[in-house]
Amino acid sequence: MVDLEGKVALITGGARGQGAAEARLFVARGAKVVITDVLTDEGRALAESLGGAARFVRHDVTDDDDWNAAIAVALGEFGGLHALVNNAAIYTRKPLVDTEPEEFDRILRVNLTGAFRGIRAAVTPMVQAGGGSIVNISSQAGLEGLRSHSAYGSSKWGLRGLTKMAAMELGPQGIRVNSVHPGPIATPMIPQLTTGPGSYPTLPLQRTGLPEDVAELVAFLASDAAAYITGAEVSVDGGLSAGKFFVPNVIES
């Protein structure tokens, strides 16, 4: 079991979905967590349910002042910052020609530039803490093409690339940077997903992923157990990115 005792983590988009599962798991493994989101009611309720080990901060990842305020809570309330999970994102699915440039920009501003702002803000406190771990939540849509995902997919490919660039620059300062690539995960982002055995028959593991499936990986990457892992991209997707599970039988005579 991954040990996060003594770690202080900031998780963006942590009011619900995967971020909330990560906050619960981090606290269960001994970490102190600053949960941030634009969803104030959900975020506050989650932090209260976790007791003294968690705080909620209203934080829009597109705003540098919000970043500074959120990190100040980690430093002021918990005495440092060891892990940053860039999890906040918005999703859209529509044909490229129907995607307005303004919408494309908005998706990049939250999903990619938001994480970039976070990395910039986290470096100094992490160096002061003696090193740290940054986990960027990309997507299967950041590993391959996905129809009708030009804006979202570009943001997730960008985040995967930013992960590599940041790992190069920040490794010498003791900061590891990795990307996580979830497949279909049952959260409010894609409400039509169902769960349970057989819920996703076109995957090798045959089911939709749960937020807790992703949280285990994120906790591992945030922990000292992953001390020699940086610049990596790790899938948690039921086998989606491993290959084609169903091959169309078009050549059978």
Ligand X SMILES: NC(=O)c1ccc[n+]([C@@H]2O[C@H](COP(=O)([O-])OP(=O)(O)OC[C@H]3O[C@@H](n4cnc5c(N)ncnc54)[C@H](O)[C@@H]3O)[C@@H](O)[C@H]2O)c1
* Binding-site ranges for ligand X (CB under 6 A): 12-13, 15-19, 37-39, 59-62, 87-90, 110, 137, 139, 182, 184-185, 187-190
Smallest distance from ligand X to CB 118, Å: 10
* Cβ proximity to ligand X, 129 vs 135, nearer residue: 135
Half-sphere CA count of 242, side-chain side, radius 13 A: 11
Smallest distance from ligand X to CB 120, Å: 16
Closest-approach residue to ligand X (CB): 17
* Backbone φ, ψ for residue 15 (5° rounding): -75, -25
Positive or negative: CA dihedral 218, 223, 224, 230: positive
* Cβ proximity to ligand X, 12 vs 178, nearer residue: 12
CA nearest neighbour of 11 among 26, 143, 48: 26
Which candidate in 91, 152, 200, 228 is catalytic? 152
Q: In angstroms, what CA-CA distances link 111 with 79, 166, 225, 235?
A: 28, 16, 27, 18
State yes or no: is 228 an active-site residue: no
Smallest distance from ligand X to CB 21, Å: 8
Structure tokens at 117: 């702002």
Q: Is 4 within 8 Å of 30 (Cβ atoms)?
A: yes
Smallest distance from ligand X to CB 17, Å: 2
Residue with tokens 């055995």: 197
**Catalytic site residues?**
152
